[in-house]
Structure 1
Amino acid sequence: MDKSVHIIGSGFSALAASCYLAKQGYNVKVLEKNNTLGGRARQYKKDGFTFDLGPSWYWMPDVFERFFADFGKKPSDYYTLDKLSPGYEVYFGKNDSITISDRLEEIYDLFEKEERGSSKHLKSFLDSAKANYNTAIKDLVYKPGVSPLELVNTTTIARVTQFFSTIRKQVRKNIKNKKLIQILEFPVLFLGAKPSNTPAFYNFMNYADFGLGTWHPRGGMYKVIEGMVTLARSLGVHFELNANVEKILVDDQKKVKGLLVNGKQVDTNLVLSGADYHHTETLLDTNLRQYSESYWSKKTFAPSSLLFYVGFDKKIKNASHHTLFFDSDFDAHAEEIYDNPKWPTNPLFYANFTSMTDKTSAPEGKEAGFFLIPLAPGIKDTEELREAYFHKIMDRFEQLTNQEVKKHVLFNRSFCVKDFEKEYNSYKGNAYGMANTLLQTAFLRPKIKSSKVKNLYFTGQLTVPGPGVPPALISGKIASDLIIKNQQ
């Protein structure tokens, strides 16, 4: 049997799958359309500043440990982690912010200070979150999404009601303080949906936040990509850059027979796509696609983002490595993303200053700033709108943190809907994939194995288990396991 496989894309899920398949003796070739590896987790360097273009939060360190352990390695063999202290800071108004400690006892004290009796409810909430985390990470999220029966065991049966309630209901049942509610509802944004549409079972993200902490790979998230590429190469994986896959070729028996790459046919009988799922299916003839345009248009997608990478000629004050700005109406912004898509009137935003922790991110005395505004996917994207929103959030940042920053901007690069579409073939320019709502969880997500083309598989944030970097690593393992099982 020919044990060769071509992988489209080189993001976290594709890299993970390449390692697992190479370990099992497959001859693996990764085809990346861009000129650097890492998919959305690329790097941008300018004038001594270094930015992660994509993912900026390192949560769930145990998932990374499990991945490297599968190859007899540790994350520390490839990069150095620093636990952030504080984990992050949240602004609710001028001179009104809450700092989230890296110690659970201090978080309990913080809650009690804001709302008497809330620490008791938080402890109970986190006990549930920890139990759900253990259930999810040790079992459920490693299932291939083939059958509903994957979700049925004694543990999940005991928690079945949590799949039919929501994070919002669970959080607000006992906690009444608006600030504390927003802090507890924030982590599910990584799953790409509103708290009111996210099953309560996903409170395990709160355990990932408070229980496991927030970390930073020294040198940035791209160090994780570099570590995975080093591991993959040591296992024999081959990489080809600037390799744009234009079509998936299928024979008369509806089996993969090759790829059209930069206008040339490459023979292969096994393909795994880590590229955008919707885009990958457009590389097939219409009759070989599993999902119609109507199917995709009805799905709830995670937001897109307007991103700014900013070099400042001074150090920033009154902010943390990760700083969230919740001084505007959360529900109104969410409605302008999911229910009535348009450019937000008064958006929440996020700022990340890695150079506060990592001196390699910016020249001495300067600061590297990464700003993110969640947006509805598919909306109009123009340079004029980007510029207007840059000034909008810079004005708010100055006011809230009580400092001048606009006149200290050395440069500003933006990245938005059109860039997500162009650079990553992302459906409607979404940034995180398909949201993890109840009807888009596990076996209800697009399948890893094509039902119409033999030897065609998918991995990444549009299939199981869902959005985020740790789920992407897991998706790579799930896809590779399914390939190995089906090829035996």
Structure 2
Amino acid sequence: MTASTSAGDRSQRVVVIGGGVAGLATAALLARDGHRVTLLEKNDEVGGRAGTWEKDGFTFDTGPSWYLMPECFDHFFALLGTRVEDHVRLETLTPAYRVFGEEYEAPLDVVTGRDEVAALFESVEPGGGAAITRYLDSARETYEKAVGSFLYTTFSHIPLRTLVRLAPRLGTLARLLLEPLSSRASRTVRDTRLRQILGYPAVFLAAQPRTAPSMYHLMSSMDMEDGVRYPVGGFGALVAAIAGLACGAGVEIRTGVDVTQIRTAARRGRRALATGVTARTADGHEERIDADLVVSTADLHHTETQLVPRELATYPEPFWRTRTSGPGAVLVLLGVEGRLPELTHHNLFFTADWDANFDAVFGDAPVVPDPASSYVCMPSATDPSVAPEGMENLFVLVPVSPDAPDGPGGAPGESLGHGGVDGEGDPRIEAAADAAIAQIAAWARIPDLAGRVRVRRTIGPADFATDYRAWRGNALGPAHTLRQSAFLRGSNASRRVEGLLYAGATTVPGVGLPMCLISAENVVKRVRGDRTDGPMPEDALRRRR
């Protein structure tokens, strides 16, 4: 039996590498489907990039902060026989987010709802209401096509019905793939502010508006029509819910266990076979864990260049030299005394010269753009539990260049460095944090912001490399350029090692929490030999047990 055929009624021994959202989700679904699953996480806590940090009464999310594609979460929880609302309480944000600009006279509040968004665009630019309505029509149609044909699939086979369904739309599909998102935004509206609102979703895709295909304008339907939600208690509450479901399904979760090798066995005339992993425990003990199936949700670059034998790598080091990394990030966690009514839950700060900003972020040398477009989340605007009374919790994300690629002989490439607590991070990281605080103070008109900071921690690209083994210390994963989208992004199965599958933001279908959940489902589909191109029936795993 192989990972690409149905598992039938026989339970497989499965090792899942990595305890981020993708790893927890994959483990939970496989266990729900009757397999014996052990999850190994090198850090002391699960969650991966969706982590938390607590100090002096503040609880900070250290990663994802946007809850989009709610139907994806609903579907995932339904596969496990439960509902999202049975585990976390969701709040819909009003406004969805606030936009500050370097040359804006006043910030813009972006609302949810087709009519409300049309009114906003019309108030900024005559004719903008009709233009955004047409844009959202196209975005919704493209989103539905993506969900029905391109996301919930292993790309191991393209069903005939998919080809028939897409045939009349091939011309439109070609344009969506070949036209950049920036061009689509520019021919929709003229106002710089509105163009930036339509172009910023590229950053969610670890890309830039000039290189992300306009197919990704589908994301505007998510925040403008579906709305932006927040799990009360922070995204750590969501991670805890998924981890609890995994344990309830029978998953053995082991933290502080670092996988150092994916073990394989050679077979005459056939592909090598994954036989398990070798791991090192926190006390330095080496352990061999046998498995019929290995699923790595660790960074794909790390998996393929460090864990798999070099001669069996599907994506060896030369492959990565032709790939485009997503940006790095400087994260700044701030506990601020007093309230900040100038900000809302989600806040975007846009520079006037976007092209220069993105050229710096995606350049060859690690730099912090000056000035920098940035994102500020203030969850305490919605959730008083994340900060002491009368104080605010700020999560600041400054997109920066990823680390430079490693040099000859594996010498580490240049990096902006590590962050730290109370200003103890590397100088370039702390300088970026100081600049971000000053920018927020100036643009949001909070002149005393720096003096009100009571808790401060920074996280830099080197921390992403150390903590998550992230390729080039990037914050999200490979960029969603044309060459790195859909089936061009890669496969969730090794071509050279039978019984080795992949999930997570660094493989298909892409970056973001919803994509991580979908990647977990696609692993189950691969194991079952399911070649359909849509979500599994919500009772599929219950029928098999």
Which bin holds the TM-score, normalised by the shorter protein?
over 0.9
Give the deviation of 1:143 after TM superposition: 1.2
**Where in structure 2 are the equivalents of 1:54-93 lying within 5 Å?**
54-93=63-102
Tell me the residue number matched to 1:387: 430
CA distance in 2, matches of 1:149, 1:303: 35
Q: Identity rate of aligned residues, in percent?
A: 31
Tell me the residue number matched to 2:56: 47
CA distance in 1, matches of 2:219, 2:475: 19
Q: Which segment is superposed worse, 78-87 or 320-329?
A: 320-329
Tell me the residue number matched to 1:290: 314
Give the deviation of 1:146 after TM superposition: 3.0
Q: Which secondary structure state, in structure 2, belongs to the residue aligned with residue 198 of structure 1?
A: coil
**Where in structure 2 are the equivalents of 1:8-157 lying within 5 Å?**
8-93=17-102, 95-146=105-156, 152-155=163-166, 157=168
Deviations 1:175-198 (A, max 9, x none): 111110000111222111111212
Residue 199 (structure 1) aligned to one of 196, 205, 213:
213
Give the deviation of 1:153 after TM superposition: 4.1
Cα RMSD for the two superposed structures: 1.7
Query: Cα distance 1:442–1:392, how it changes in 2: closer, same or farther (>3 A)?
Result: same
Q: Which secondary structure state, in structure 1, belongs to the residue aligned with residue 19 of structure 2?
A: coil
Q: Which secondary structure state, in structure 1, belongs to the residue aligned with residue 443 of structure 2?
A: helix
TM-score by length of 2: 0.86
Residue 510 (structure 2) aligned to one of 438, 441, 466:
466
Residue 397 (structure 1) aligned to one of 440, 462, 482:
440
Letter aligned with residue 273 of structure 2:
K
**5+ residue gaps in structure 1?**
none
Tell me, yes or no, if the aligned pair for 2:312 and 2:496 is still in contact at 8 Å: yes
CA distance in 2, matches of 1:461, 1:146: 19
CA distance in 2, matches of 1:320, 1:353: 6
**2:378 equivalent to 1:353:** yes
**2:389 equivalent to 1:378:** no
Query: Cα distance 1:251–1:340, how it changes in 2: closer, same or farther (>3 A)?
Result: closer
Tell me, yes or no, if the aligned pair for 1:145 and 1:464 is still in contact at 8 Å: no
Letter aligned with residue 154 of structure 1:
R
Deviations 1:444-473 (A, max 9, x none): 123211111111111111211111111111
Tell me, yes or no, if the aligned pair for 1:305 and 1:417 is still in contact at 8 Å: yes
Q: Which secondary structure state, in structure 1, belongs to the residue aligned with residue 101 of structure 2?
A: strand
Query: Cα distance 1:170–1:430, how it changes in 2: closer, same or farther (>3 A)?
Result: same
Tell me, yes or no, if the aligned pair for 1:21 and 1:484 is still in contact at 8 Å: no
Query: Cα distance 1:210–1:156, how it changes in 2: closer, same or farther (>3 A)?
Result: farther
Q: Which segment is superposed worse, 121-130 or 144-153?
A: 144-153
Give the deviation of 1:71 after TM superposition: 2.3
CA distance in 2, matches of 1:364, 1:304: 33
Tell me the residue number matched to 2:539: none
Give the deviation of 1:10 after TM superposition: 1.4
CA distance in 2, matches of 1:291, 1:140: 22
Letter aligned with residue 378 of structure 1:
D
Q: Which secondary structure state, in structure 1, belongs to the residue aligned with residue 475 of structure 2?
A: coil
**2:288 equivalent to 1:265:** yes
Tell me, yes or no, if the aligned pair for 2:233 and 2:386 is still in contact at 8 Å: yes
**5+ residue gaps in structure 2?**
1-9, 281-285, 405-414, 418-425, 531-543
**2:452 equivalent to 1:408:** yes
Tell me the residue number matched to 2:519: 475
Tell me, yes or no, if the aligned pair for 1:84 and 1:215 is still in contact at 8 Å: yes
**2:238 equivalent to 1:229:** no
CA distance in 2, matches of 1:104, 1:174: 16
Query: Cα distance 1:157–1:421, how it changes in 2: closer, same or farther (>3 A)?
Result: farther
CA distance in 2, matches of 1:301, 1:146: 25
Letter aligned with residue 381 of structure 1:
L
CA distance in 1, matches of 2:178, 2:394: 39
Letter aligned with residue 30 of structure 1:
L
Deviations 1:10-53 (A, max 9, x none): 11222221122112110011101111111111111111100111
Tell me, yes or no, if the aligned pair for 2:61 and 2:234 is still in contact at 8 Å: yes
**2:394 equivalent to 1:369:** yes
**Where in structure 2 are the equivalents of 1:193-342 lying within 5 Å?**
193-253=207-267, 254-262=272-280, 263-281=286-304, 282-342=306-366
Give the deviation of 1:148 after TM superposition: 6.8
Tell me, yes or no, if the aligned pair for 1:44 and 1:51 is still in contact at 8 Å: yes
Give the deviation of 1:417 after TM superposition: 0.7
CA distance in 2, matches of 1:287, 1:340: 29
**2:181 equivalent to 1:172:** no
Tell me, yes or no, if the aligned pair for 2:15 and 2:276 is still in contact at 8 Å: no
CA distance in 1, matches of 2:110, 2:207: 23
Give the deviation of 1:149 after TM superposition: 7.0
Q: Which secondary structure state, in structure 2, belongs to the residue aligned with residue 402 of structure 1?
A: coil
CA distance in 2, matches of 1:184, 1:35: 39
Tell me, yes or no, if the aligned pair for 2:464 and 2:475 is still in contact at 8 Å: yes
